[in-house]
Amino acid sequence: MAGNHPFSLRALALMSLFAVAAPGPAAGADAYRETYPSAAIDPSRGIAGAGDAGFGSTLQYWQDEKSLEHHRQWIGDPEHEWKLNWKFLDFDRSDDMHPGYLALEAGEKLFKLWAKREPAFRTCLGEGKTDLKGLAATYPKYDPKLKRIMTVESRVEHCAQTALWETFKQGSPANNQISLYFKSLSARAPIRVDTGSAEIMASYRRGEKLFYAKVGQFNFSCASCHTSTGLLGQRFRGQVPTTPFGDAAHFPTYRLALGDIESLQQRFMRCNMQARTKALPPGDPAYTDLEVFYTVLSNDYPVSVPSAR
Amino acid sequence: MAEPMKIRAQLSGDLVAIKVLIGHIMETGQRKDPRTGQLIPAHFIKQLSVGLNGKTVIAAQWGGAISKDPFLGLKVKGAKAGDKVSVHWEDSKGEKSSAEATVG
């Protein structure tokens, strides 16, 4: 049937393209947005929310090493593997033979080089302290002096600017390497984003709204893929979207598909682009809000950097 | 050149499991720089060998199809604690690297 009317079909396709294109530029920042139905999240529960049906109820399979060990027969099984939230890749710590460690070595070298040349770089990262252990597990956090929310990456950018007079833009190799090293100094420390802070919670609420906002050519929200009423656990383009809970713990990660370090916000960019949405630059306030939202959903889960995915 | 290389050599019985992680760009020579449209020159490991106490146990000819930061795993019989594992590679630009580890 359709084959008989190639011309009119093409005309129709063209017309619909115009219909999509026309309101684009004129609509501006306050464009009407549809919202994906939201599943309730209690931010004070941290990763515990991953046990809820709206997010796949997978917590029981990956919450700790024992649960992962118990379900290790699922590794490589396309029906079940997604339930492990890829966390089994973190617990293979018997040796340091994944390329996340190469990235870490590069980051450590770069950090030590700069910190030796200019000790203020270290104390800036440490907010006055020289010992950086455990600090990154509390990010993102509100900085009352700078009056803004800082992520690990924006702290590195800020300190490079003020202490070194260098530009380590977020998403650049230098920023990613140093951020990865900084975060690795909190390896195994439970993530503790301060949900008692009014500024953090305001950012969390904005991030939550973004998570459900439909955007782009496909009119997809993050939730369209990363919740159970959406595609969570369904095969999709050869991949299976997993729960948003616990994700922030292993970033920045060495992404095997890219052969490079990927920050959490660079992952947001990739998800946006895959859903044909214009990605924002790393460090954009909207991505910072999303990162706050995501990291609160990883609260109580141990940092696992370096990692490879 | 001074790329990092990690070697592990773990013994069980007389079998040694050797793992090698090599930091290398492994550029195929087929990719174009999206900004300039120019081909990115090839730069990949061509020859790689692993030795146990100086005797070659594997000699490999690699090409541009091997991934960035390659990982190599092999098992060799007849090893004992204290043996020396050595890895050597040479790439398409003539750069070389060697590293050693002790079986334990």
Which CATH number goes with the domain that contains B81?
A: 2.60.40.10
Which is it for the CA torsion A162, A166, A171, A174, positive or negative?
negative
CB < 8 Å to B6, chain A: 96-97, 101-102
Q: Is residue B58 part of a domain?
A: yes
pLDDT, one tens digit per residue, over A87-136 is 988 866 556 788 888 899 999 999 999 999 999 999 999 999 999 999 99
pLDDT mean over B74-83: 93
Closest chain A CA to residue B66:
A259
Q: Is residue B56 part of a domain?
A: yes
Please tell me what DSSP assigns to residue A39: P
Q: Is residue B12 part of a domain?
A: yes
Cα A244 off chain centre by? 9
pLDDT the model gives residue A30: 63
pLDDT the model gives residue A27: 45
Strand (E) or helix (H) holding B51: strand B45-52
The answer to whether B42 faces chain A, any CB pair under 8 Å, is: no
CA separation, residue B70 to residues A103, A263, B11, B20 (Å): 13, 22, 22, 8
Please tell me what DSSP assigns to residue B41: P
pLDDT mean over B19-40: 93
Output the pTM of the full model. Answer: 0.84
Cβ of A99 within 8 Å of Cβ of B4? The answer is: no
Sequence-ordered list of residues with C-beta below 8 angstroms from that of A168, at least 6 positions apart, any chain: A156, A157, A160, A161, A174, A175, A178
The whole-angstrom distance between B79's CA and the closest CA on chain A is: 20
pLDDT mean over B8-19: 92
* Count of the separate structural domains present in chain B: 1
Domain that holds residue B13: 6-102
**Position A98, amino acid:** H
Q: Is residue B1 part of a domain?
A: no
Q: Is residue B32 part of a domain?
A: yes
Q: Which domains, and CATH codes, for chain A? A: 43-95+193-296 (1.10.760.10), 99-184 (1.10.760.10)
Residue of B8, B21, B69 with shortest CB distance to A259: B69
The answer to whether A97 faces chain B, any CB pair under 8 Å, is: yes
pLDDT the model gives residue A51: 84
pLDDT the model gives residue A8: 46
Helix residue spans in chain A (DSSP H): 6-21, 23-27, 59-62, 65-70, 100-117, 120-125, 152-159, 173-184, 198-212, 222-226, 264-274, 285-296
Q: Is residue B81 part of a domain?
A: yes
* Alpha carbons B89 and B20: distance in angstroms, whole number: 12
A positions 258-287 inside 8 Å of B (CB): 259
pLDDT the model gives residue A3: 41
CA separation, residue B6 to residues A82, A102, A172, A290, B47 (Å): 30, 9, 25, 36, 17
Flag residues of chain A having pLDDT under 70: 1-31, 91-95
Strand partners, B7: B20
Q: Is residue B62 part of a domain?
A: yes
The answer to whether A105 faces chain B, any CB pair under 8 Å, is: yes
pLDDT, one tens digit per residue, over B31-77 is 999 999 999 999 999 999 999 999 999 999 999 999 999 999 999 99
* Alpha carbons A122 and A64: distance in angstroms, whole number: 33
Optimal mutation site among A95, A96, A97, interface B, most CBs of chain B within 10 A: A97
The answer to whether A80 faces chain B, any CB pair under 8 Å, is: no
Cβ of A102 within 8 Å of Cβ of B71? The answer is: no
Q: Is residue B59 part of a domain?
A: yes
Count of C-beta atoms within a 10 Å radius of residue A87 = 23
